[in-house]
Amino acid sequence: MRSLLLPLFALTAAAVEQASNTYDYIVVGSGPGGGPLACNLARAGYSTLLIEAGKDDGDNPEVADLANFNAAANDPNMRWDFFVKHSEDPARELKFQHMVWRKRDGTFYVGLDPPAGATQLGIWYPRTGTLGGCAMHNGGVCALPADSDWNIVVNKTGDTSWEASKMRKYLIKLEKNTDAPAGSDHGVSGWVEISQSYGAVPAQGSDGWNIDTQLAIATGQNASNLASLVRRDILAGGPDKDQQTGFFAMSGHVDKTGKRTGPRWYIRSTLNDPAKYPLTLSLNTFVTRVLFSNDTANPAAIGVEYMQGANLYSASPRYKNGTKGNLTQVFARKEVIVSGGAFNSPQLLKLSGIGPKAELAKFDIPLVKDLPGVGENMADNYEAGILTLANRDLGDTGGYVVIMLNTSKTTHDRNIYAFCGSFSFEGFWPGYPTDYGPSQYECALVHMGPRSQAGYVRLRSADPQDVPDINFRFFESNGDEDLTEILDAVKTIRKGIRAVTGDVAPFDEQHPCAGTGAECTDEAQKDFIKTQAYSHHPTSSCAIGADSDPMAVLDSKFRVRGVRNLRVVDASAFPVVPGAFPVLPTMMLSEKASEDILADAKASS
């Protein structure tokens, strides 16, 4: 692999301009950050190359029908398998009930008692290598961050364009909201359809109605308004939106027929538009590094190097050891934009010579820019849940209902996003989830504003095809405060579930306090949550920060510090996790980056 790590590529700007395989912009990654950005640049008239390591799986029913999202995440034809750690403590790691091992025959074992000869892999963290990125296998849930999550960029950088009051315009620009009431501050003609298509209001007197009634009472709502409460718009604006608690409808990037929407379809519509926008899509294209000019004192990105071929990244279950693709180089007149996500963007920067000096020296990677924050300060939402089994099979539950709570003693903003219904969701492992049958009922919890931001993405080797070393270091900082907030939410929901009457009750809780009406200590429940918490919203591994912050990777315009013509536009850029689900904020971030990049292009022309 040493051939992939040549000294800085020495090309003058004139030589780049003369190259036939040259575009104005190169965007690496087609997910919620890179996909819309590439489309917007092309629609503004700039020749843009969009590079995606996977193929297009948009016609696969597992992907196209949002209800099949669990199958999509398990699909070996499109998934990437990362195996991560939650802490630096090997003994704690071995308490995770869904630990994954590789058996001698090459198949997976999931659990705490592996067979002889099995190799511990870690905690499964599925990503995707497909057109549209992780918006193609997620649950599609759309939620907005608190205003403070946007304003933190203002506070760090002084860039007032990030003020929360100015960020909603990007939601309106991208959104085609099919449930927005007339005159509301929603978009109705954007590129991604957003709707409340996750379920109907349960029929009065049904199991869902009875459960929701008790959950409403437990959370301090007027249950006589149940029908209107469960249809409340979770994406609505207003000065007190971040403090509103209680029931909401779940919104998602899904149309009224249940079909997934998102960046993939925006890319396809741009490619197929009669206007013939100058967008070029290169699938099955695995970028190995960013290329730079020979000005070592003032380095500038001039292109990328890639391998052509399917399943070239070892995270793919279809990867065959030793498979290589022919190395090819392609060039950018203006900029290279990296949008590989919170795992792959820092990996690509490091392989290209941008990152912590000592780490790059360890693998003999020529240094372009010493940026110690690359791959550090990674954060994620903590996720947990209260899973129960009803006394009999459940009837109509009406689909999902969202409950927003504030269990924090340090902020007025809500800090818990819970979604409840007849399902089971206990994290991720190959073949997930466990189906407990038609009596299952769960409220899954997403904890917002985690206090620990200690995770990292570090190289295992200088081989671009090797996956990085990923450790979230959960609960590293102020962990008990976070655990208390999660547990308080569990207790509130448990109070509602235990208040349900009729033959559907009592509910047999599976966790975190197993048993019908069982009493568990706070310490025991916190220990369960701490060891079994999971996540799937990684951010902040190439974070925007202040000029004075040595760990800042990007400035407020997404530019990589100390390097010209290189930006990162994806969830890794957020200084903190943006609310409960990053997919919609990342699409908004992409719209903002489009505006910033086009403004710079206009100013330089």
Write down the pLDDT at residue 470. Answer: 98
SS3 140: coil
- pTM (2 d.p.): 0.95
The residue count of the chain comes to 605
Residue 162 has pLDDT above 70, yes or no: yes
Write the DSSP string, 222-238: -GGGHHHHTT--TT---
208 annotated as ligand-binding: no
Instruction: Please give the average per-residue pLDDT across 519-524, as a whole number.
Output: 97
Write down the pLDDT at residue 364. Answer: 98
Question: Torsion angle, CA of 255/171/378/245, rounded to 10 degrees?
Answer: -80
Q: Which residues make Cβ contacts (< 8 Å) with residue 269, sequence separation at least 6?
A: 191
- Alpha-helical segments (H) within 13-68: 13-18, 34-43, 61-64
Residue 15 has pLDDT above 60, yes or no: no
Element (H, E) at 282: strand 279-282
Instruction: Please give the average per-residue pLDDT across 96-100, as a whole number.
Output: 98
Instruction: Please give the average per-residue pLDDT across 135-145, as a whole number.
Output: 97
C-alpha to C-alpha distance for 431 and 126, rounded to whole angstroms: 11
SS3 292: strand
Write down the pLDDT at residue 18. Answer: 39
CB 11 within 8 A of CB 299: no
Q: How many Cβ atoms are within 10 Å of 355's Cβ, its own excluded?
A: 29
C-alpha to C-alpha distance for 85 and 121, rounded to whole angstroms: 9
Instruction: Please give the average per-residue pLDDT across 527-541, as a whole number.
Output: 97
Write down the pLDDT at residue 72. Answer: 95
Residue 284 has pLDDT above 70, yes or no: yes
Kindly calculate the radius of gyration of the chain based on its CA atoms and give it in whole angstroms.
Answer: 24
304 annotated as ligand-binding: no
Residue type, 150: W
Beta bridge partners of 151: none
Calculate helix-pair angle for 34-43, 583-604, nearest 10 degrees: 30
Write down the pLDDT at residue 423. Answer: 96
pLDDT in tens, 35-87: 999 999 999 999 999 999 999 999 999 999 999 999 999 999 999 999 999 99
Position 399 confidence tier, pLDDT thresholds 50, 70, 90: confident
SS3 370: strand
Distances, alpha carbon 344 to alpha carbons 164, 302, 375, 487, in Å: 28, 20, 9, 33
Position 7 confidence tier, pLDDT thresholds 50, 70, 90: very low
Nearest to 128 by CA among 278, 262, 299, 3: 262
CB 122 within 8 A of CB 63: no
C-alpha to C-alpha distance for 578 and 570, rounded to whole angstroms: 12
Residue type, 228: S
Position 125 confidence tier, pLDDT thresholds 50, 70, 90: very high
pLDDT in tens, 554-581: 999 999 999 999 999 999 999 999 999 9
C-alpha to C-alpha distance for 362 and 345, rounded to whole angstroms: 19
pLDDT in tens, 463-492: 999 999 999 999 998 999 999 999 999 999
CB 112 within 8 A of CB 99: yes
Nearest to 176 by CA among 159, 158, 193, 164: 193
Position 281 confidence tier, pLDDT thresholds 50, 70, 90: very high
SS3 560: strand
141 annotated as ligand-binding: yes
- Domains of the chain as residue ranges with CATH: 2-61+136-154+263-375+541-604 (3.50.50.60), 80-127 (no CATH), 197-230+382-447+475-532 (3.30.410.40)
CB 195 within 8 A of CB 384: no
Write down the pLDDT at residue 10. Answer: 36
The mean pLDDT value of the chain amounts to 94
140 annotated as ligand-binding: yes
SS3 246: strand
CB 434 within 8 A of CB 426: yes
Residue 235 has pLDDT above 90, yes or no: yes
- Alpha-helical segments (H) within 356-503: 357-362, 479-498
Residue 594 has pLDDT above 50, yes or no: yes
Half-sphere exposure at residue 78, Cβ-oriented, CA atoms within 13 angstroms: 28
Structure tokens at 135: 């918006």
Residue type, 459: L
Position 12 confidence tier, pLDDT thresholds 50, 70, 90: very low
Element (H, E) at 170: helix 164-174
Instruction: Please give the average per-residue pLDDT across 25-29, as a whole number.
Output: 98
Half-sphere exposure at residue 82, Cβ-oriented, CA atoms within 13 angstroms: 23
Tracing tokens 């429940």 back to the chain, one arrives at: 525
pLDDT in tens, 409-442: 999 999 999 999 999 999 999 999 999 999 999 9
The set of long-range contacts for 306-310, using a CB threshold of 8 Å and a minimum separation of 24, is 306/51, 306/282, 306/330, 308/284, 309/284, 310/54, 310/55, 310/284
353 annotated as ligand-binding: no
Position 295 confidence tier, pLDDT thresholds 50, 70, 90: confident
Write down the pLDDT at residue 183. Answer: 77
